[in-house]
């Protein structure tokens, strides 16, 4: 290996090295989910027993359905709120309190999750003492996740709103549309991709979150990541590897389908896909 060889190939070497680092743990999870024993150092033989164990583990299954519900609700709530906030920031010019509004909106991006969890917990406990409601549980987790997701979603939606061509909306207004018709018939359809991306991002954040859920979950309410976190602290459990592999399969499928869709769309219109 001469120096010039290294110089020529340093870029692909570095790229593949880091990619190997990224994918090594994923490969490990998939391979050992098919292991026939509890071992996590030697592959002793192929079996599907951990998938079966996963299926029969009621805590994991219930956690999964709770997480799915929480993620669906918080993604929807977070995206709706983020759309309103992004609209206000991009379209309303310098309204009163804009700086404070913007700072509060984007703060969760730079706040350690432990602090978000703690401060929301104190809020919910305070409200519960005053009004006897809400109990800590699914509802409080949804609110917490929506707050976090809204911050990320509004970044995505704002950037789309900024680059959008306003002349189409103006044309609709000139042709006699009412402002709210313009919003629902012109503005929203023009940003579906960004809304979808924002919703997916919020969904993933919620589906993945441990810390905020740990703070805001009540007794008897455990999301999938919380169940996994509790198992993981106790030691090796290949059921979790199986869960991880299924999750990866789902994500990869979604990405492939999305990719095909985009490719087909761009072929149909002969244009570059929006990124």
Window 81-140: residues binding another protein (CB under 8 A): 81, 84-85, 87-88, 92, 95, 97, 101, 104-105, 107-108, 110-115, 118-123, 125-126
Minimal distance, residue 268 CB to another protein, in Å: 18
Position among 147, 198, 216, 217 found at the interface with another protein (CB under 8 A): 147
Position among 34, 51, 225, 239 found at the interface with another protein (CB under 8 A): 225
Stretch that binds another protein, among 45-53, 168-176, 187-195, 228-236 (CB under 8 A): 228-236
Report the site for another protein in 19-48 (rule: CB under 8 A): 19, 21-26, 28-29, 32, 40-41
**Contact status, residue 47 vs residue 34, Cβ threshold 8 Å:** yes
**Contact status, residue 76 vs residue 173, Cβ threshold 8 Å:** no
Report the site for another protein in 48-77 (rule: CB under 8 A): none
Comparing CA positions, the residue from 113, 100, 98 lying closest to residue 149 is 113
Minimal distance, residue 200 CB to another protein, in Å: 9
Overall residue count recorded for the chain in this entry: 275
Position among 90, 128, 204, 218 found at the interface with another protein (CB under 8 A): 204
Judge if the upstream peptide bond of residue 72 is cis by omega within 30 degrees of 0. Answer: no
Q: SS3 for 93?
A: coil
Stretch that binds another protein, among 54-62, 68-76, 163-171, 227-235 (CB under 8 A): 227-235
228 lies in the site for another protein, by CB under 8 A: yes
Ramachandran area for residue 176 (φ above 0: left; ψ -120 to 50: alpha; else beta): left
Minimal distance, residue 256 CB to another protein, in Å: 10
d(CA 90, CA 193) in angstroms, rounded, equals: 18
- Spell out the alpha helix ranges (H) of 34-97: 49-56, 58-91
**Contact status, residue 148 vs residue 75, Cβ threshold 8 Å:** no
């Amino acid at each position: 290996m001469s120096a010039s060889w290294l110089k020529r190939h340093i870029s692909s070497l570095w790229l593949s090295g880091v990619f190997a680092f990224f994918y090594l743990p994923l490969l490990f999870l998939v391979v050992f989910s098919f292991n026939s024993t509890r071992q996590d150092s030697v592959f002793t033989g192929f079996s599907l027993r951990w998938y079966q164990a996963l299926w029969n583990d009621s805590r994991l299954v219930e956690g999964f359905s709770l997480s799915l519900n929480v993620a669906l609700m918080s993604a929807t709530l977070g995206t709706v709120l983020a759309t309103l906030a992004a609209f206000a920031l991009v379209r309303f010019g310098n309204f009163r309190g804009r700086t404070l509004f913007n700072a509060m909106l984007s703060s969760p991006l730079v706040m350690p999750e432990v602090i978000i969890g703690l401060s929301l917990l104190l809020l919910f406990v305070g409200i519960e003492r005053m009004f006897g409601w809400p109990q800590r549980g699914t509802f409080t987790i949804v609110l917490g996740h929506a707050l976090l997701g809204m911050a990320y979603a509004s970044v995505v939606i704002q950037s789309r709103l900024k680059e959008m061509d306003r002349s189409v909306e103006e044309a609709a207004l000139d042709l006699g549309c009412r402002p709210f018709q313009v919003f629902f018939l012109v503005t929203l359809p023009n940003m579906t991709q960004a809304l979808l991306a924002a919703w997916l991002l919020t969904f993933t954040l919620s589906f993945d979150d441990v810390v905020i859920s740990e703070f805001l979950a009540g007794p008897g309410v455990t999301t999938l990541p919380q169940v996994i976190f509790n198992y993981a602290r106790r030691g090796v459990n290949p059921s979790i590897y199986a869960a991880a592999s299924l999750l990866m399969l789902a994500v990869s499928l979604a990405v492939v389908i999305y990719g095909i869709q985009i490719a087909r769309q761009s072929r149909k219109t002969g244009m570059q896909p929006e990124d």
